[in-house]
Structures are given as C-alpha cells and as structure tokens.
C-alpha cells in the first residue's frame, strides 16, 4: 500500500512537472493548430496550394511546361530558406510563441468592455434604438461585415501610426528588417509593437462593435466558423500567409483597389524609397486608396530588395531585433516629449529609412 501510494505520489509529481514544462507551449499549440489562427499550419497549407496553383497557371500562360520540380524550387527557394534573416525569424517565432501569448493576454484592454460602454453611452445620449426590422441573416451579415471592417480599419490606423510616429517606427522597424520574406516574418514583430497593435485593435473594434450593437441590437450575431469571423477567415486562408512570401501574386484594376494582394504587401516591405509607407492595410486596400497611400503592384514581378538600413546592431540578433528598437523608441520619445537630444550612435538612421546595400531578390517564376 505504501509503495502504491508512493507510486501515485510520484505520478502526480511527474504530471505536475510535465504540465509545468508544457504549459508555456499551449499558446504556441493554439497559434499553430487552431484553424482560426492567423498563423496556423492549415492556413500555411492553403497558402502553399495557392502558390503552386498560381505559379503553374503563370507558367502555362507563358507557354512553358508545368514542371513540379521547378515549382517546388521556386516556392522553397534555397536563397530565401537559408538566409540569416529566415533563421532569425524562426528563432523569433519559437521564442515569441512561448512567451507572447502570456504577455499580451493580460495587457490588452477588453473589447467587449468598450463595446458595451459605447452601446450604453449611445443609448443614454440618443435613447434606445428602435428594434431593427429585417431578416436575421441580413442583421447578422451587417454585424459580420462591421466587425471585419473594424479589424481592418484598426490595423490600418495602427500601421499608419507605426510608420508616421518616429518612436513607433523604431519598434515597427524590427518587422521591416527582414531581408527575405517567408510566412515566418509574421512573427518578426517587436513585443511592444504587438502590444500596441493588440490594444489599438481592441479599442477600434470595441468602438465600432459598440455602435453596431446599438444599431443592430444585441440579438445580431456575427457569422463565425471555428469561433472566427468568416470574412476574417477568408483573409487568413487566401492572402495573409502569402503577403509575407516572395511569390508575386498581384491584384490589379478595381480588384487591387479593394483587396490587398500578397504583392501589395511585398511592395510595403520594399527597400526602394519610392515604396516607403505604401500599402498599410491588412486585407483591404480601400483605406490606402482613400488616404492616397495605395501603390498598385505591376502584373509582372519587379526586382525588389527588402529590409531597412541604419542599424546600430545586427538586425538579425537579439540586440538589433529586441533591445535596440526599445532603446531607440525611448530615446526618440524623450526627445520629442522633453526636447532631449539623442546622442551617437543612436542618432544614426534613427527615423529615416534608407535603402542599404541589400541583395536584390530574384523574381520567382
Ligand atoms: Zn509596416
Ligand atoms: Zn509585413
């Protein structure tokens, strides 16, 4: 009996240790395995299929034979996969997955708290909104669209601020320091940049969601799949992963003024000054179109270089990716708020992006 108790006790202790070791991996598993996650292995699989289909179609249109080996070589380019930038993204991805969920979990303002507050405020100021008449699917569709637009507008506003406010640009520059583009660049975001984005999104989705709740009534529900807005799912599965790739898939004409194609975001990452601060939206191009920051991609893939210059440290190391952006952001903030002068070496390349001596990326055929 004593032995049995001892065994059980050891089993419990072992379980606790395993649980303790595994618990930091839970947010990582959720990010990679939940179908609604923006970085899941399923949306990555969908992106790969789209890439294969697109490249095959393009070769056929040019009258060239569709050779699977050539397509695999184009998608899994050795130059891209073996680049130092990709290794840094991989390390950043692993560390970020294990830590970021916990940090952002407690630091984000509550969207439902804001939307409930906005709905209550509107009711107090304007009186109770008359119950909207209409079929459920129309009201639900309107709420689905309103929340999707709220996310996209929130992302656009946050991204614009990151490019316009020097202190925020110092943080956001870590994302732009990627010299080659793979879906791993999705993870190359400074923790403070992620934190600010999460709060801005919560605020804007809360504000617009509250107005939608007031106008459409509490009964209106978004259409969801896997607990995710269906329009958001379309974005995640059709373009989100490919926006950080070097496969040139352009939306042109009216289509390209409404939706942000992978090529739009590749131009956003371009080191060419002509492309700086363009295409700041996530899934929709309409905000950029309205604000004059839209740059339409060409049909044929241009030769682009990616990355930023003016680094004090290696942009693919811990100092360059994590420590340096935070110090520079603080210095720029102090300089702007209190008129304090920044000292070398942090003055160099502080807010201005300049094209560096970057290797030209090959166009992917
Ligand atoms: Zn950006
Ligand atoms: Zn990006």
The set of residues, in sequence order, having a beta carbon less than 8 Å from that of 329 and lying 6+ positions away, is 167, 168, 170, 171, 192
pLDDT band for position 179 (50/70/90)?
Answer: very high
* pLDDT score recorded for residue 37: 87
pLDDT at position 343 over 80 = no
pTM of the entire structure? 0.85
Residue with tokens 């060239």: 64
Q: How far is the CA of 56 from the centre of ligand 2 (A)?
A: 25
Q: Is 37 left (phi over 0), alpha (psi -120 to 50) or beta?
A: beta
Which ligand is in closest contact with the Cα of 242?
2
Average pLDDT over all residues of the chain: 86
Distance between CA atoms of 199 and 130, rounded to whole angstroms?
32
* pLDDT score recorded for residue 152: 97
Q: How far is the CA of 245 from the centre of ligand 2 (A)?
A: 10
User: pLDDT digits over 153-167, tens only?
Assistant: 999 999 999 999 999
pLDDT at position 355 over 50 = no
Q: How far is the CA of 316 from the centre of ligand 2 (A)?
A: 16
Q: How far is the CA of 156 from the centre of ligand 1 (A)?
A: 10
Share above pLDDT 70 across residues of the chain, in percent, rounded to a whole number: 84
Distance between CA atoms of 359 and 179, rounded to whole angstroms?
8
Average pLDDT over residues 216-235: 92
pLDDT at position 206 over 80 = yes
Q: Which residue has the higher pLDDT, 210 or 17?
A: 210
User: pLDDT digits over 69-123, tens only?
Assistant: 999 999 999 999 999 999 999 998 888 777 766 565 566 778 889 999 999 999 9
Q: How far is the CA of 243 from the centre of ligand 1 (A)?
A: 12
Cβ neighbourhood burial of 262 (10 Å; 0-12, 13-18, 19+) = buried
User: pLDDT digits over 2-13, tens only?
Assistant: 334 434 444 445
Q: How far is the CA of 28 from the centre of ligand 1 (A)?
A: 24
Distance between CA atoms of 318 and 92, rounded to whole angstroms?
9
Q: How far is the CA of 163 from the centre of ligand 1 (A)?
A: 6
pLDDT at position 359 over 70 = no
């Amino acid at each position: 009996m004593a032995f049995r108790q001892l065994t059980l006790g050891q089993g419990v202790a072992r379980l606790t240790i395993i649980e303790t070791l595994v618990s930091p991996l839970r947010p990582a598993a959720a990010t990679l395995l939940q179908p609604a996650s923006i970085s899941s292995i399923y949306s990555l699989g969908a992106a790969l299929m789209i890439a294969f289909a697109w490249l095959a179609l393009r070769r056929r249109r040019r009258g060239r034979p569709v050779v699977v080996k050539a397509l695999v070589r184009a998608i899994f380019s050795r130059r891209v996969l073996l680049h130092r930038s990709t290794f840094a993204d991989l390390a950043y991805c692993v560390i970020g997955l294990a830590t970021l969920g916990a940090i952002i979990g407690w630091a984000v303002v509550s969207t439902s708290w804001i939307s409930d507050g906005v709905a209550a405020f509107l009711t107090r100021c304007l009186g109770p909104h008359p119950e909207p008449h209409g079929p459920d699917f129309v009201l639900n569709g309107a709420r689905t669209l309103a929340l999707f637009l709220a996310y996209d507008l929130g992302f656009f506003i946050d991204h614009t601020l990151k490019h316009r406010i020097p202190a925020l640009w110092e943080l956001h520059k870590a994302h732009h320091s990627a010299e080659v583009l793979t879906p791993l660049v999705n993870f190359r975001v400074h923790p403070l940049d992620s934190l600010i984005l999460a709060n801005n999104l919560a605020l804007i989705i809360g504000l617009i969601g509250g107005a939608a709740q007031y106008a459409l009534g509490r009964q209106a529900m978004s259409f969801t799949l896997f607990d995710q807005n269906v329009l958001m799912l379309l974005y995640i599965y059709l373009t989100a992963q490919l926006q950080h790739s070097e496969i040139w898939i352009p939306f042109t004409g009216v289509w390209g003024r409404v939706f942000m194609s992978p090529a739009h975001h590749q131009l956003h990452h371009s080191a060419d000054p002509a492309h700086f601060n363009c295409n700041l939206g996530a899934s929709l191009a309409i905000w950029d179109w309205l604000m004059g920051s839209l740059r339409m991609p060409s049909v044929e893939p241009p030769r682009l270089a990616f990355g930023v210059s003016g680094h004090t440290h290696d942009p693919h190391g811990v100092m360059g990716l994590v420590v340096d952006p935070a110090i520079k952001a603080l210095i720029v903030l102090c300089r702007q708020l209190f008129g304090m002068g920044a000292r070398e070496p942090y003055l160099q390349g502080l807010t201005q992006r300049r094209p560096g001596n970057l290797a030209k990326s090959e166009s992917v055929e």
